[in-house]
Amino acid sequence: MKSDLKNLKFSCIGIIIKPHASSVKSTLQTLIKFLTQKNCNIILDEQIPDNLVKGKIEKANHEEIGKLCSLVIVVGGDGTILNAARSLAHAQVPLLGINVGRLGFLADILPDDLEDSLKEILHGSYREEQRFLLETQVLRDNKTIFEGDALNDVVVHIRNVARMMEFEIKINDLFVNHQRADGIVIATPTGSTAYSLSLGGPILHATLDAITLVPISPHTLSSRPLVVNSDSKIDILVCDTKEGIAQATCDGQLSMDLKVGDHIKVQRKADTITLLHPKHHNYFEILRAKLHWNKQITE
């Protein structure tokens, strides 16, 4: 067993699941059993309930997992990976997703393929992708009142009601335009297949150094999605909320209420996330499967 451990690319592995997700119990137990047989050191997210795990296994918070582990396996859907990515970006530890969710653009290993895929990955046979995040600040009266990161997108919108707002956009301190819309989505290439896509935004290959700005139901039909370099510094000024409550949201999971006059500053985060995929991983195959591009029209 010890010789097997020496041959492994990753010896200490962290496991994160969607909190309180009993639906992952079977996959989680299979994963732990497999890693135990490989003699891997396992550290579980401290939020994993004891009743989902057989036996006693070390637990830690995300910060400690990032320091101690050489690989983190995330069991869940893309939302679980988004959460893990934000908390582990500073640690530079690679993430691997086991998909028990719906879409699986990020978590692409199915539970049935778990053992075969992991066997190859643990011995160093895998594909590696670097993904960047966005860091966001909300400034009110020149004071920072909110900070948050996003792997998918930052959305500025009116919450809880379908109502337009007005805002100005500057990129690298240059005025772009004044818009009336339901809001705007600022997305990474990773997030280009999420909310941005549903609004008519372009699909960006996951490895591109670009950011998209996609208006939400703009009042002016000529207002179109804009793609800029990932080094761009974006400033959204809230001009009018039409008496609604505006909000800035990171990955749909972190949010801050906004007021007229607030500045939402978005730029690329220095830290990146490394995603691991099986050797046969094909980004375009995932697009075909998830977006149903492979369906043929029959008469």
**Residues labelled as active-site residues:** 78
Question: Checking DSSP bridges between strand 71-76 and strand 95-99, what pairing results, if any?
Answer: parallel
Query: In this structure, what are the phi and psi dihedrals at residue 256, rounded to the nearest 5 degrees?
Result: -145, 130
Centroid of chain to Cα 41: 26
Centroid of chain to Cα 115: 24
Burial of 2 (0-12, 13-18, 19+ CB in 10 A): exposed
C-beta of residue 276 within 8 angstroms of C-beta of residue 109 = no
> 158 pairs with which residues across the strands?
246
Q: Measured between alpha carbons, how far is 94 from 61 in angstroms, rounded to an integer?
A: 16
C-beta of residue 12 within 8 angstroms of C-beta of residue 40 = yes
Which residues neighbour 166 within 8 Å (Cβ) at sequence distance 6 or greater? 178, 179, 180, 238, 239, 240, 241, 242
153-to-194, 196, 219, 229, 255 alpha-carbon distances in Å = 8, 8, 22, 15, 12
297: which 2 tokens? Answer: 């029209």
Nearest of 29, 185, 18 to residue 99 by alpha carbon: 18
